[in-house]
Structure 1
Amino acid sequence: MRHRPTVDVSHLPTYDFGSASPIWWGTVAFIALEATGFALAIGTYFYLAVRARHWPIGAPAPDLLPGTAILIILLASAVPNHLIDLWARRQDLVKVRIGIVVMSIAGILPLIVRIWEFPALRISWDQNAYGSIVWFLLGLHTTHLLTDVGDTIVLAVLMFTKKGNTGRHFSDVSDNAFYWDFVVVSWVVLYLVIYWVPRM
């Protein structure tokens, strides 16, 4: 009878952080897919801008105030976001609980401001091609905000339960922080496209 060599791996961790985690790679693939969607939408915006005689079409440039307010909120949120990633890697439950509540609030704030941002575009979505593409760009980013805020709130609730004090959930918090960076960076790009390209 042949004996196969075996190794006892029961002592190895069932989770990890960053590129050592399969969930992290799933997040990277998700970001790549969504970034492609943003790139296609931005490409459409510039195609329409080049084809039009005047840009924006039939409307003044959007009001800067709501979009700039969201930019400031999102850039400011990068600080607690990176802290929570650090605390999650250290598996510091108390600090992660505080940080995840702060990040939940930081995610809800731009959604509140966005209520005033759509009217600040100064054009209806169905008025012309310009209106359609800027509403689409803003709607696309709003979807990403809603997705991440929902995930953050679920993690916040989870971290305040008995199951929250497990390494796997600390890894989930770290991955969520990684995705939030994408939400922030994507808004910086969209902010320049939506608010400053029409002013050039």
Structure 2
Amino acid sequence: MRQRVVADLSGLPISGERHSSPSWWGTLAFMLIEGTGFALAIGIYLYLAALAPAWPPVMPPDLAAGTGVTLVLLASLLPNALLSRWTDAQDLRRVRLGLLVMLGFGLVPLLLRILEFGALNLRWDDGAHGSIIWFLLGLHTAHLLSDLVETAVLAALMFTRHADNPRRFGDVRDEVVYWYFVVATWLPIYGCIYWAPRL
């Protein structure tokens, strides 16, 4: 007769802090995979620029909308840092407020991005240059949009009766880290699209 070993795990916590949490590792792995995608796309941009007899082949994009997105993203770092602090303190009222503020900071760049696509001075099918520029912007736009949806879901959850527990605060902490990633990935793209052609 086979013997079964059974352990009572009911005493284990439902969530862990930072690196002891599976969702933290999942977020880290996602950022590494997506960061590799961004690096490859920027590498393609630089490769095409190195091969072209003249780069860019059209007038560089207008700076206003792209710079507006950059300034909004940089300004969002302060409320994101505050949200991180409030999450560590498990201050539910302030975390709710911080998530609502970050919803605004997630929405504004998307609205500016609409203007930004119009200010590129080229279409997505204008050769390799147009394709890679639109791909870079589209890739980052997808991350802005997915982060906005995730922030909205977390904000909604934090206004339910299930909000005040360590697991939910851990989810918000992961979201804070991911927003830093979204901002950090935009800066080299902004440099490639807007400033490299002007150097």
TM-score range, shorter chain: over 0.9
Corresponding residue SS for 2:104: helix
2:104 equivalent to 1:105: yes
2:169 equivalent to 1:178: no
The two structures have a TM-score, normalised by structure 1, of: 0.94
1:133 alignment partner in structure 2: 132
Corresponding residue SS for 2:162: helix
Deviation per CA, 1:125-174: give whole Å up to 9, x if none. 10111111000000000000001110000000110111112211110000
- Where has structure 1 moved over 3 Å in runs of 4 or more? 4-12
The two structures have a TM-score, normalised by structure 2, of: 0.94
Structure 1: which amino acid aligns with 2:33?
L
Alignment CA distance shift 1:51-1:123 (3 Å): same
Give the Cα–Cα distance (whole angstroms) in 2 for the partners of residues 146 and 97 of structure 1: 20
Equivalent residue runs for 1:33-112 within 5 Å: 33-57=33-57, 59-112=58-111
Aligned length: 197
2:187 alignment partner in structure 1: 188
Give the Cα–Cα distance (whole angstroms) in 1 for the partners of residues 18 and 65 of structure 2: 34
Q: CA deviation at 1:7?
A: 8.0
Give the Cα–Cα distance (whole angstroms) in 2 for the partners of residues 150 and 21 of structure 1: 22
Give the Cα–Cα distance (whole angstroms) in 2 for the partners of residues 156 and 53 of structure 1: 50
**RMSD of Structure 2 on Structure 1 (CA):** 1.7
The answer to whether the 8 Å contact 1:17/1:89 transfers is no
Deviation per CA, 1:57-116: give whole Å up to 9, x if none. 1x1011111111111100110111111111112111000000000001110000000010
Identical counterparts, % of pairs: 52
Q: CA deviation at 1:16?
A: 2.1
